[in-house]
Amino acid sequence: MTERPEVRLTMAALPEGVGVVRQALAGMADALAFDQGVLADMKMAVTEACTNVVVHAYADDGSDGTADTLEVDLLADELGLTVVVRDRGSGIKPRAARSTPALGLGLPLIAALSDAFEVRGSSGGGTEVRMTFHYMRDADPVESNPIGETGWVPPDRPT
Amino acid sequence: MDANPIVLDDAAGDVVVVVVEGEHDIYTAPTLRERLDEALGRGGGVVVDLTAATFVDSSILGALLDARRRAQEQARGFVVSVGAEVEPGVQRILDITGLVPVLPVIDGREAAISAARDGVSGSPG
């Protein structure tokens, strides 16, 4: 069966788009009567996934020849809401050092705050992150995927 | 009008307060970095007040950790303050990243100003 997104947002992969995605998410979560705590987790995880697209998916100079697109699907079912964040880049690859290095917290946060998540290649050649948030949680997902167990430590901690 | 302002308050004299309100992410992180540079440039302690912030992401935590490191290098106070009731979009990321003692995060702007004046800048990390 082909999955039919209930809402699909397609926009330029720019920093100002991330807040727009949060607004759409808040509207959807409100319509679905999500708990405020789950909504907060959803906003955080989806923000991190979108930020990864804006920062990492495309070459800074446009040399990879792709239109820099950020695509977000919101799919509701009886268990919860699945959010798919997708880029049309050329896949995950090492990048040159940046003037403001990322903390590396994005995926650990996504793992800690979603009830289920998956990262995979998308049909367009880019990468997609699928995150599911349940209407009713049996347990706090942070307990299953605590940030401290991902190997993440604050960047200036002595080793 | 900016719905998500970041402004400097220097009413406390030797400690500059960077007041962060509303939602902040990769879009406003460069502004926060500029304000933090400016605050560090004043030469005294720095407090970042997140009392009226409703959402901060990892880009914002990155900016705060960088500023904290620079304050420590210069032996200056650096403290983040929150209010009595912290928004879930702020509390949750601070809790699960374990950054409360690292930044450090203190309840109340006045307490944070006193701590920054005393040179507090969090645990060694």
Question: Is A25 contained in some domain?
Answer: yes
How many degrees, rounded to 5, is the angle at CA B67 between CA B64 and CA B73?
140
Question: Is A126 contained in some domain?
Answer: yes
Distance set, CA A80 to CA A77, A133, B119, B121 (Å): 6, 5, 47, 42
Is A109's CB within 8 Å of B93's CB?
yes
What amino acid occupies position B1? M
Contact (CB, 8 A) for B94 and B83: no
Is B65's CB within 8 Å of A154's CB?
yes
Q: What is the pLDDT of residue A23?
A: 96
Say how far apart CA A95 and CA A56 lie, in whole Å. 8
Note down the domain range covering A106: 7-92+102-148
Provide the residue ranges of all domains of chain B, joining segments of one domain with +.
6-117
B39 Ramachandran zone, left/alpha/beta (phi>0; psi -120 to 50) = alpha
Is B55's CB within 8 Å of A22's CB?
yes
Greater confidence (B6 vs A59) lies with: B6
Question: Is A84 contained in some domain?
Answer: yes
Per-residue DSSP letter, A19: H
Contacting residues of B for A44, CB less than 8 Å apart: 55, 57, 89, 92-93
Say how far apart CA B90 and CA B42 lie, in whole Å. 27
Checking if the pLDDT of A141 tops 80, the result is yes
Nearest CA in chain A to B68: A156
ipTM over 0.90: yes
The CATH architecture that domain B6-117 belongs to is 2-Layer Sandwich (3.30)
Q: What is the pLDDT of residue A158?
A: 45
Say how far apart CA A158 and CA B9 lie, in whole Å. 33
Q: What is the pLDDT of residue A101?
A: 54
Question: Is A75 contained in some domain?
Answer: yes
Question: Is A130 contained in some domain?
Answer: yes
- A147: nearest CB among B88, B89, B96: B96
| Residue that the structure tokens 């604050």 belong to | A154
CATH number, residue A14: 3.30.565.10
Is A15's CB within 8 Å of B27's CB?
yes
Contact (CB, 8 A) for A6 and A76: yes
Nearest CA in chain A to B87: A40
Per the structure, how many domains does chain A have?
Answer: 1
Question: Is residue A99 within 8 angstroms of chain B, CB to CB?
Answer: no
Question: Is A31 contained in some domain?
Answer: yes
Question: Is A159 contained in some domain?
Answer: no
Is A106's CB within 8 Å of B99's CB?
no
Interface with B, mutate which of A36, A50, A109 (most B CBs under 10 A): A109
Each of the 125 residues of chain B gets a pLDDT tens digit; together they read: 678 999 999 999 999 999 999 999 999 999 999 999 999 999 999 999 999 999 999 999 999 999 999 999 999 999 999 999 999 999 999 999 999 999 999 999 999 999 999 988 877 65
Residues with Cβ within 8 Å of residue B85, at least 6 apart in sequence: none
